[in-house]
A and B are shown apart, each in its own frame.
Chain A
Amino acid sequence: MITLTPLKQFKYPVYAECITPDVFQGKDIAEIANLPVNEGNQVKNLSDLFKIEEDNAATPTITINGDASEVRRIGIGMKNGEIIINGNVGMHLGEKMVGGKITVNGNAGQWVGGGMKNGLIEIHGDAGDYLGSHYRGVSEGMKHGVIVVDGNVGSDSGCYLRGGVIKIKGNAGPFLGYHMSDGTINVEKNAGPRLGANMIGGKIVVGGLAEDMMPTFTIDTSKPKVKIDDTQSAQGPFYVFLGDLAEDGKGKLFISKANNPKLKFYEKYL
């Protein structure tokens, strides 16, 4: 197991694509120390920026202790093993990750699990915008796997979601699940405006207030509860909306009845 401790508070963006268990595996500590990272426009060695320690446990685990909020692309494309970050972490955590587990005991920046293919990311804090989303110009967001966020998430989370589950225990920003075609998003608290805009499939469950309903969703039915995944279901009752009509979409929104009295007028269509 490798432990990394930042040697300073980073000012410039640090691109540390090498911090994944797959790259570290089979390397001794000297080799790891020589891995290249970018700080601003300078190329440095990992050991210039982090104190690197090794213990004897054979698990392919990387622990980062300290503030890594300027460190980007940690766990990019990782296939197995585990990364634990005790502190905040920067953008593109677990970008296009294929397997393994990432735990953040702090907050994470934007694009957590961007284009993620599988694996598990747990954030015991808040996450920025574009959680589990696509990258610009690409129409594929997260495909499989699970992301759990204990706090709030920013805007455009779960954009172009193709599968997998995103569980948000706090609030979500605007455009949650934009253009998603499959998969599940569960927000336990409130969801921002333009919820599920352009959605063509999949489901979003909102346990709190849905700030605004897109006019292009039509009410379908109401349900007492809904399944999130094999281990969890959410208690309703829920209004079930279908949409987005503008995309001829078949996406489903489950919106808590109790917390959204202003949606009562839809009941006349039931």
Chain B
Amino acid sequence: MTVIKSVTCPICGCLCDDIEVTVENNEVVKMKNGCAVCEGKFLGYKGEHRTKKPLIRKDGKLVPVTMKEAVHAAAEVLANANYPILYGWSSTSSEAQRVGVELAEEIGGVLDNTAVVCHGPSILGVQEVGIPTATLGQIRHRADLIIYWGCDPWSAHPRHLERYTNFTEGRFEKSEWTSYMTKLKAHAGNRKLASAMRIEDSKAKPKPQACYVGGSPPELSKGGRKLIVVDVRKSMTAEMADFFIQVEPNKDYEVLQALRALVKDKELDVDSVGGVPVEYLQDLADALVNCEFGVIFFGMGLTQTAGKFRNIEVAIQLVRDLNSKTKFMIMPMRGHYNVTGANVVSSWQSGYPYGVDFSLGYPRYNPGETTCMDVLLRDELDASLVIAADPGANFPKNAVQNMVKHPLIVIDPHMNATAMLGDIVFPAAFVGIEVDGTAYRMDSVPIPLHKVVDPPAGVLSDEEILKKILEEVKIIKAKNAKVA
């Protein structure tokens, strides 16, 4: 039995690197420090859906073949494709992503990562106006105002608050965990009291965060770190916030723009914006201006609702305006553990973070034109390679239909929905559990991933599989050139 310390969790963009894993007979048997999601993956990754042999579709059925056969078949498809797409890349190591860029260039394909359906708009927003940001370490030690806008870390990035924001003990800012627990207990006590007195629960009463009209709500003038949540519904994170603002769906842009005007001391002609009375926005604007180090974390509630990258653009512009009065930062809550790496590697290799089209022989980037979702919906592709993602399960129906019309190569540890639709399927080792690698945390800090157990016999890493395909593609292309 060996205990391995400081293991990095390969799941979400928090990349917690303090996990303790106990291994016995090449099996993970015990976990420490990880959240429930982390334990779920480390203890349950050897599920029944694991693939261990390369498969090729013959007469409508996926049948096991040798690695050599599968590599050759995949390389044939890619080397002869006229407009292939290479999609995924977010749940694998940066080493594999680097080979991916080379492969895309070699075959003149469209290289895109899952950012296109999550934080791609954030990147577009950043490219329009720049981004004032910091590392999570800075935020942990110094931030006294945390805003989660359109995201719910308590559910999606479970240790974000605990490791980087309100519930962590920073050097200059203290943890709010005790005060949150007191609040929770008081809340539970109140509820008990209310039910004992047979009074209908607080539903009918105005929400505490929306009842302080005029003057600053006490929660916003308290000392210590403050937590503000802006969302369309009262999420789990909102439950623990000091101030919660509920915005009508698809109205974030208006609210952010109104905040910008209020921060600049402008008068608005309207009484409410996106369902929020201007008084509350004024309170919020005051809190923003009066903090010493504020940060906005935003999620897909901003990037994938009406306005998309313009929402991010306006949020960054708000942060820019605030920086003339105080110190403010903004950061996207990246989802997959290495989606940031996919953008970083793609940028460093090709100049562009996602949606890179190599078909003209040089990299081009124009989301809407060179992004794989648009290519799929316009059915311009003639082959696809999907790695470390599952578009078959979460892309729109028309896009998946167009994807499966053409040869589909899948590299994944699991028999996921895309693999089941695939024509050539490669089993891969789990990065961060069965192979080492590097991943980029949501603040673009690279963190090493560790191998804790061996992969099943014959199962290679994404990087090794891609290298084999790339080599074979080069051989086939050289042969084709000779014939021509």
Binding site for B on A (CB under 8 A): 11-13, 15, 38-42, 70, 72, 91, 110-111, 129-130, 135-137, 174-175, 178, 193-194, 197-198, 212, 214-219, 244-246, 248, 266, 269
Contact = CB atoms under 8 A, between A and B. Distances in A.
Most buried by B among A111, A194, A269: A194
B83 A13 contact: yes
A137 B261 contact: no
Given A11-B380, A12-B82, A40-B82, A246 B359 contact: no
Interface stretch (B362-370, B386-394, B434-442): B362-370
B231 interface: no
A35 to B, nearest CB: 15
Given A244-B257, A246-B261, A246-B317, 9 more contacts: A13-B380, A40-B83, A41-B360, A72-B369, A136-B127, A197-B257, A215-B273, A216-B266, A246-B260
A161 B391 CA distance: 37
A38 B306 CA distance: 35
A266 B366 CA distance: 40
A136 B124 contact: yes
Contacts of A214: 254, 257
Most buried by A among B264, B307, B310, B367: B310
Nearest to A92: B369
A216 B278 CA distance: 12
| Nearest 9 pairs of A and B residues by beta carbon | A41-B108, A40-B82, A246-B260, A40-B83, A41-B359, A245-B261, A245-B266, A215-B273, A246-B261
A89 to B, nearest CB: 14
Majority SS at the chain A contact face: loop
A215 B82 contact: no
A41 B317 CA distance: 39
Contacts of A217: 269
A110 B367 CA distance: 11
Nearest to B266: A245
B83 A216 contact: no
B82 A178 contact: no
B253 interface: yes
Contacts of A244: 257
Nearest to B359: A41
Contacts of B307: 174-175, 194
Most buried by B among A175, A214, A215, A216: A215
Contacts of B109: 41
B111 to A, nearest CB: 13
B198 to A, nearest CB: 43
A128 to B, nearest CB: 9
A214 to B, nearest CB: 6
Interface string B264-280: 10111110010000000
A269 B268 CA distance: 11
Given A41-B108, A91-B369, A136-B366, A248 B264 contact: yes
Given A11-B380, A216-B266, A38 B257 contact: no
Interface string B77-96: 00001110000000000000
B7 interface: no
B254 to A, nearest CB: 6
Given A41-B109, A215-B254, A216-B268, A11 B379 contact: yes
8 contacts: A41-B83, A41-B108, A178-B310, A198-B257, A215-B257, A216-B266, A245-B264, A246-B317
